[in-house]
Amino acid sequence: MTPSDASGRVALVTGANRGIGRAIATGLAERGLTVLLTARDPRQAEAAADSLRQAGRAVASYPLDVTDQAAVDRLAAWVAATYGRLDVLVNNAGAYYDTDQAAATVDLAIVRAAFEVNTLGPWRLCEAAIPLMRRHRYGRIVNVSSGSGAFAEAGAGTPAYSVSKAALNMLTVKLAAELRGSGILVNAACPGWVRTAMGGPGAPRSPEEGADTPIWLATLPDDGPSGGFFRDRRRIPW
């Protein structure tokens, strides 16, 4: 398999102002895609975009809270009006790594908040993106998940985060099955333990290393996999 042609492709990356999201946006822009960087804080989104513009990349920024349906709808309308297409969606925005919680006593308000960001946020973006992808019978959806959401790796701890990521994995499988034959490939990626605000300074991987598999999935050729869960470009168990 060889990567798909990036010519004229438009990609949207959520949570792209820092960490893994920024590294994904940078990698896609370096491969010739026009990249739309989103973040809750419009100043942070624009600062990230501006740094890439200065390097000669085709990028734009847009403020987005993935928990706000109206904001997602406005973004989709803007993308349609401005570009007329959306080819790649990377659902990177994530939150609520609740190391201080236990499943037997968890604050369910934290669980609800985690689902809004980690599961329903990507779901909203997928519903907004898929009609634009269908226009050209081409799409790559990458859900940035975590080994914390894999049943094969599950243990105690981080209940809200883990269950919300497990639900994101199931969404990946469902969408891939529904979209089979449409030209739209849907996969989940575990970036590993990365030095980010969430991962902490002691993590062994850089943001660029964590971004490698999502970038690979975002640029798969037409005969690439769909409905899989990947780490280091290798399929891992759900």
**pLDDT tens across 153-164, in order?**
888 999 999 999
Closest listed residue to residue 141, CA positions, set 151, 132, 150, 152: 132
Q: What is the mean pLDDT of residues 231-238?
A: 95
What is the average per-residue pLDDT within 16-37?
A: 94
Predicted pLDDT at 137: 97
Contact yes or no for 6/219 (Cβ under 8 A): yes
Return the CATH fold of 10-235. Answer: Rossmann fold (3.40.50)
Per domain, the residue ranges of the chain are 10-235
Can you tell me the distance from the alpha carbon of 28 to that of 225, in angstroms, rounded to the nearest whole number? 19
Contact 144, 118 (CB under 8 A): no
28 pLDDT above the threshold of 50: yes
Spatial separation of the C-alpha atoms in residues 215 and 20, rounded to whole Å: 10
The helix (H) or strand (E) run that includes residue 188 is: strand 184-189
Q: Give the other-Cβ count within 10 Å of 173's Cβ.
A: 17
pTM: 0.94
Mean pLDDT of 138-157: 93
Interatomic CA distance for residues 238 and 162, integer angstroms:
12
Is the pLDDT at 1 greater than 50, yes or no?
no
* Catalytically annotated residues: 161
Asked if residue 158 lies in contact with residue 146, where contact means CB atoms within 8 angstroms, the answer is no
Q: Mean pLDDT throughout 80-88?
A: 97
Structure-derived torsion over alpha carbons of residues 174, 39, 85, 186, reported in degrees to the nearest 10: -20
